[in-house]
Structure 1
Amino acid sequence: MTPPSNWWLPMVDPPLGVPTINLADYEYDTRLGWGSIGYVDRVRHKPTGRLYALKAVRIHDHQRCQNRVREYMALAPTLDYRSIVKCHGVQTERGYSRLLYDLMTSPLSGFQTHDMEILSHIADNILFGLQYLRKKNIVFKFLSPSNIFYDDADMAFKIGDVGAPKDLLFDLDCQPVPNVEAERYVAPELLSYMVRLSVEGVENWDVWSLGMCLLEFYLGKFPIDYDKRKDTKGVSLPFFMAGMPNPPRAPPEAWPPFRHFIELCLQRSPADRASVDQLLSHEFVLTFDFEHQEGKGKNEGDRLD
């Protein structure tokens, strides 16, 4: 009997009790994206014709990296909330673990608007998602425009990749070349102490990231002027951010409640940042009279057009 051609690749079995999928029930449609730890395909469920997003996470030889992938597979299908992209099940094969997600309309990468109602809608939905994760003792460290999605079916903004082992991006045993894109929205103290197990103010890492995302949506560009080819003399982005004298701020012409909201998020000291609960009570979020009910997002008639 001839062994399969990929017999040498590592494999991580799905954790017990986690819903699994039959990969043979899905056919490839198109590649949606790829990165340092894997890729995402749009697939069609053969029996129903429904489209999903199938994420493949590369499995490395190092045991610590395999443990992180196993934790991801155990966590993702348990998250069930309107502001979190739903994972329906997992499966593994040699070299990759695969997770089946609802297909979102679009990520917010490259999105720009000065419409304060839309920005408030985003903030409200994402804050409720972060609040839900806190109830499960989860702090999402890697919030960025690429994993904030708009779902046209629910008319809601959702967090994707919750539980994804992006810590691997900063672990040289798992990812030899750090992914600068993943570092851009991370709180400065996390960048400065990436190798540590914990730092003071861990609960506010995601608040910084949310502020960076919202400010980018307003500006239409990354909020920090960084060009390693010029004045930074090749210094990496984490060290550049850690050395910034002042965090970025919304421009003076922006709506004052939005400027104040961004300032509360982008405080260098974690202890000075507002909490998720405080931000949910902020004027920027409350002004547009969105429904603040468990499991609900903002106006059902709101759309990202």
Structure 2
Amino acid sequence: MPRLQAPHEMMRPRAPHEMMIRPSDATPDYANAMMKPEPELEFQALKLSDFDKVGDLGEGACGVVTKVRHRGSGAVFALKTAYYSDPNSEEEAEVLRRVGRSPHLVRCHAIFRGADDEPAMLLELMDAGSLGRVLRHRGHDGLPEPALAEVAARCLAGLAHLHYSCRVAHLDLKPDNLLADGRGNVRIGDFSVSRILSRVPGDRLRVSVAVGSTAYLSPERFAPNARAGPRGACAADVWSLGVTVLELFSGRCPVLPAAQRTSWEMLKEAICCGEPPSVPEIATASASLRGFVDACLQKDPKRRATVAQLLAHPFVAGRDVESSRRSLREIIVETMYKQGAKDREERA
């Protein structure tokens, strides 16, 4: 087995939504889980054979994700293994090398190579699952504004690192790809369709943006063989952020009426021909939240706010940071407790 490639050795984590831990894998002692420090391992010296499989976490079109335990330390991780080596999986691996150790992105500790040279990515395991899972536990209740402002701030910090430091567009931002842990951290995951916008200084690549989850695509991404340069690709992420914030607020995907069944054609019609989604007039919401969503969901990508502008928006910049963090952490931990109670009841 060749030596693994450590991200910090390279130029610069797919932590997919299906990485979300299953109920049986949840940590029962949540108070201890929140205080548990990250494992200290010499990742450069490790091999793929140093890890034992604990269970399956998910499977997607590009690869399979398993929960693994390091045999020596007992530390647990998520391991995403591509089915085979192809340009998409190689692009994802290169993105993971670039993003490094941002506190707002799911961390990739190392990239191994499998028997057929396919990448196997050792990822941070986020023990509370995704914010999509949090919404499903809350029923039709969305997040309160303080918690939502904290989520938006963390997403923007992650996108700023991707767009400005790494020259990468995420292209699949949604609640299921925002992963949480018992400490109240929320990080962007799943880089399976992300695109590198610049490979050398001064480079300005045009990349395919006709990828990602349909309900979160901006109108211009429905064009046949849609491609965009760095500005347009980053603007696509801003639209997805707006839809994500609106869904987390309302408790449901806001593109179509709640009772309406969705299809690709219906979503395309609604997004391209209808009015942009917005906070309902009857909803109890602050002017700053309404303004933030509107700034994200401009149908013309040139009129959309940039990540830098949104970081200065009152909804984010004017939040009470301590209160917002506490609100978000309490919701995440409450979801973990409820899931744990449900698991115990099902096993009884």
TM-score, scaled to structure 1: 0.76
Q: Which residue of 1 aligns with 2:37?
A: none
Q: CA RMSD in A?
A: 3.2
Q: Does residue 1:69 correspond to 2:89, yes or no?
A: yes
Give the drift of 1:277: 1.2
> CA–CA distance in 2 between the matches of 1:265 and 1:206?
9
Find the partner of 1:152 among 177, 182, 199: 182
> CA–CA distance in 2 between the matches of 1:144 and 1:20?
35
Q: Which residue of 2 aligns with 1:259?
A: 290
Give the drift of 1:189: 1.1
Q: Which residue of 1 aligns with 2:15?
A: none
Distance 1:186-1:72 versus aligned 2 partners, 3 A rule: same
> CA–CA distance in 2 between the matches of 1:248 and 1:146?
19
Deviations 1:55-97 (A, max 9, x none): 122226xxxxx23322322331342111011101112223842
Find the partner of 1:132 among 154, 161, 173: 161
Q: Which residue of 1 aligns with 2:277?
A: 248
Give the drift of 1:161: 2.1
> CA–CA distance in 2 between the matches of 1:68 and 1:36?
11
| Long gaps (5+) in structure 2 | 11-43, 136-141, 196-209, 335-348
Distance 1:161-1:219 versus aligned 2 partners, 3 A rule: same
Distance 1:255-1:130 versus aligned 2 partners, 3 A rule: same
Letter matched to residue 72 of structure 1: E
CA contact (8 A) 1:84 1:129 kept: yes
Give the drift of 1:39: 2.2
Higher RCO structure (Cα 8 Å, ≥6 apart): 2
Deviations 1:189-238 (A, max 9, x none): 123244436487332111111111111112211111179x97x8x66356
Q: Which residue of 1 aligns with 2:74?
A: 49
Letter matched to residue 177 of structure 2: N
TM-score, scaled to structure 2: 0.67
Distance 1:237-1:91 versus aligned 2 partners, 3 A rule: farther
Q: How does 1:180-219 map to 2 (within 5 A)?
A: 182-196=213-227, 198=229, 201-219=232-250
Letter matched to residue 263 of structure 1: D
Q: Does residue 1:103 correspond to 2:125, yes or no?
A: yes
Find the partner of 2:53 among 28, 47, 51: 28
> CA–CA distance in 2 between the matches of 1:32 and 1:196?
32
> CA–CA distance in 2 between the matches of 1:151 and 1:77?
22
Find the partner of 1:123 among 152, 171, 174: 152
Give the drift of 1:287: 3.0
Q: Does residue 1:83 correspond to 2:104, yes or no?
A: yes
| Long gaps (5+) in structure 1 | 1-12, 61-65, 168-178, 292-297
CA contact (8 A) 1:119 1:214 kept: yes
Deviations 1:22-67 (A, max 9, x none): 221111112122222122111111111011011122226xxxxx23
> CA–CA distance in 2 between the matches of 1:195 and 1:278?
25
Higher mean alpha-carbon deviation, 191-200 vs 128-137, is at 191-200
Aligned residues between the structures = 267
Structure 1 runs, 4 residues or longer, greater than 3 Å off: 13-21, 193-200, 298-302
> CA–CA distance in 1 between the matches of 2:266 and 2:77?
34
